[in-house]
A and B are shown apart, each in its own frame.
Chain A
Amino acid sequence: MAQDFEPRANTVARLILAGLVLMPLTFVGLGYALERSDYVTGQNETVEQPIPFSHAHHSGEIGIDCRYCHTSVEVSAKAGLPPTTTCMSCHSQLWTEAEMLAPVRESLSTGVRLKWEPVNELPDYVYFNHSVHVTNGIACTECHGSVGEMRLMRQAAPLTMDWCLDCHRDPVPYLQPPEMITYPYRTTSQMSEIDQAPLAEFYDIHPGGLTDCSTCHR
C-alpha cells in the first residue's frame, strides 16, 4: 500500500498549525495598525482651502495672536473661524492687488462668505469643548502641533479616543502657564523646562471624572 504521507508532511503540518495561530494574530495586528494609521485617522493631512492661508506667516512671523481670528476659543466649545472682515482689517490696505487674495475681496463685495474646509473633525457622537481646555492650561499646540511653522494647516494629532484618554488619565504633565497657551511653536525642551506641580494647583485640575464615558459621550 502506498504511503498516504510523505516525510515532509510533518513539516507541512507544523507550518499549518503555526499558520493557524499566526494568521488571526496578523489580521488583528494589521487591523489595529490600519485603525491607527494616518490613512484612517487623517493625521498629517492638509485640506484644499479657497485661499492658501499660511499660519507660519501670520502667527509665526507676524506674531498675530490666535484669538485675533479664533475669537471664541476661550468662551465656547468652538474656536470659531474668522469672517471676511477679519481678513480685510489688514488686507484692505495690504496686498490689495494680490491674486491669492481675490476670493477675500470678492466675498466682501458680494457678501457670500468664504468656505473654509474643516481640517480637524470629530464624529458627531463625541462632545468636545475648547474653552475648558484652553482655560485649564492646555496649549493650542498640544493638540494642533507647531502651528507657527505650518504653511498649510494640517491635522497634527490622531484625534482617536485613546489619544484623548492618554491625557485625561493624567493631564498634569501637559500643563502650561496662561501666557503660553497661544504660543505658536512647540518643542520638547519647552515642556521639560516647566514645573507643572504648581500649575495643577493654579488651574485646580481634578482628573477624577475625566475618563468617564459621559464626559465625552453625552
Chain B
Amino acid sequence: MSVGRALVLLLALAACRDDMGEQNKDVAYDPSGVWSDGASTRPRVAGTVTRDAPLRVIALAEPPEVTPALLARGRERFEIFCAPCHGFDGTGDGRVVQRGFPRPPSYLSERLRAAPAAHFLSIIADGFGVMYPYGDRVEPADRWAIVAYIRALQLAGGDAPQPDPARAAVPVETPFPPADEAPE
C-alpha cells in the first residue's frame, strides 16, 4: 500500500517542469518558429521612420555648444570607436593598425585640420574607403562630441592624454596586474 503511494508521489515529481523559467513567450535572442530566419528579434522593416527621427535630424543640423562635458563625452566615444585604428592621439597608429589594418591618414595633417566638421560627421555616419560606417553605433549628438574632441586633439598636436585603463591593453602600463580570479 505505502509502496503504491510512494510510486504515485514519484509520478508527481516527474510532472515538475520549469514552466516559469522557460515561459511561452519570446524574449531577446530566443529562437522563433514564426519567422523564416528563426530569430524572435526582428530587424527594422525597410523604410521605417523611427519616432525620434526628427530629433536626430535636428541634433545633426546645429553644432552643440562646446563644454567640458561635451569634450569628455567625445573623448570617451572616440576612444571606444575610433582609437583602435586612429590611435589615442589621432595620428593613425592604433593597435589594430599595428596588427596590419591599412593606416588611416593622421588627423594632424594640414588637410584634415582645414576640413569642415561636416566632413567628419558624414564619415562617421557613412564610412570612407575601407573604413566601415559607425552611424548605427554612434548617435548624432555623440558624432558632434567626437568631432569636438578631434578638434581638441588637433590643437594638442599629438600630445594626447593617457587613455582610460579600460582601453589600455596589456602591453601598455596597467594600474593593476592581471590575475586569474573569478568573482565569488
Cβ contact within 8 Å between B183 and A142: yes
Contact with B along A82-114 (1 / 0, CB 8 A): 000110111011100000000000000000110
- A129 CB to closest chain B CB (Å) equals 12
* Cα–Cα, bound, A156→B79 (Å): 27
Cβ contact within 8 Å between B80 and A187: no
* Cα–Cα, bound, A190→B181 (Å): 12
Chain A contact residues (Cβ within 8 angstroms of B): what range?
Answer: 35 or more
**Given A71-B137, A183-B165: A146 touches B178 (CB 8 Å cut-off):** yes
**Given A123-B18, A179-B166, A184-B166: A68 touches B178 (CB 8 Å cut-off):** no
Cβ contact within 8 Å between A187 and B132: no
Q: Which 3 A-B pairs have the closest CB atoms?
A: A63-B169, A123-B21, A89-B132
Looking across the interface, which residue of chain A has its beta carbon closest to that of B96? A90
A interface residues with partner B (beta carbon < 8 Å): 44, 59-68, 71, 78, 81, 85-86, 88-90, 92-94, 112-113, 118, 123-125, 141-143, 145-146, 148-149, 156-157, 179-190, 193
Query: What is the total of A-B residue contacts with beta carbons within 8 Å?
Result: 118
* Cα–Cα, bound, A67→B139 (Å): 13
Looking across the interface, which residue of chain A has its beta carbon closest to that of B21? A123
Cβ contact within 8 Å between A185 and B183: no
Residue B9 lies at the interface, judged by CB distance under 8 Å to chain A: no
* Cα–Cα, bound, A123→B170 (Å): 36
Considering residues A118, A124, A143, A145, which has the most beta carbons from chain B within 10 angstroms of its beta carbon?
A124
Cβ contact within 8 Å between B166 and A183: yes
Residues of B close to A184: CB separation below 8 A: 166
Cβ contact within 8 Å between B21 and A125: yes
Cβ contact within 8 Å between A180 and B166: yes
* Cα–Cα, bound, A145→B178 (Å): 12
**Given A68-B84, A113-B37, A146-B181: A90 touches B169 (CB 8 Å cut-off):** no
Cβ contact within 8 Å between A141 and B183: yes
* Cα–Cα, bound, A169→B137 (Å): 35
Binds A, one of B23-31, B59-67, B106-114: B23-31
* Cα–Cα, bound, A193→B165 (Å): 15
Cβ contact within 8 Å between A65 and B178: no
8 Å CB contact of B96 from A62, A67, A78, A124: A62
- A100 CB to closest chain B CB (Å) equals 15
**Given A78-B28, A185-B174: A63 touches B39 (CB 8 Å cut-off):** no
Cβ contact within 8 Å between A146 and B29: no
Cβ contact within 8 Å between B20 and A65: no
Considering residues B20, B81, B100, B181, which has the most beta carbons from chain A within 10 angstroms of its beta carbon?
B181
- A65 CB to closest chain B CB (Å) equals 4
Considering residues B22, B27, B183, which has the most beta carbons from chain A within 10 angstroms of its beta carbon?
B183
Cβ contact within 8 Å between B21 and A190: no
Contact with A along B146-172 (1 / 0, CB 8 A): 000000000000000000111111111
Residues of B close to A157: CB separation below 8 A: 182-183
- B13 CB to closest chain A CB (Å) equals 13
Residue B15 lies at the interface, judged by CB distance under 8 Å to chain A: no
Which B residues, 118 to 154, have Cβ-Cβ distances below 8 Å to chain A?
Answer: 130-132, 137
25 contacts between A and B (CB under 8 A): A44-B182, A61-B169, A61-B171, A62-B96, A62-B169, A63-B168, A63-B170, A65-B166, A68-B137, A71-B137, A90-B96, A92-B132, A94-B99, A94-B101, A123-B18, A124-B20, A125-B21, A141-B183, A146-B178, A179-B166, A183-B166, A184-B166, A186-B181, A187-B181, A193-B176
* Cα–Cα, bound, A85→B134 (Å): 10
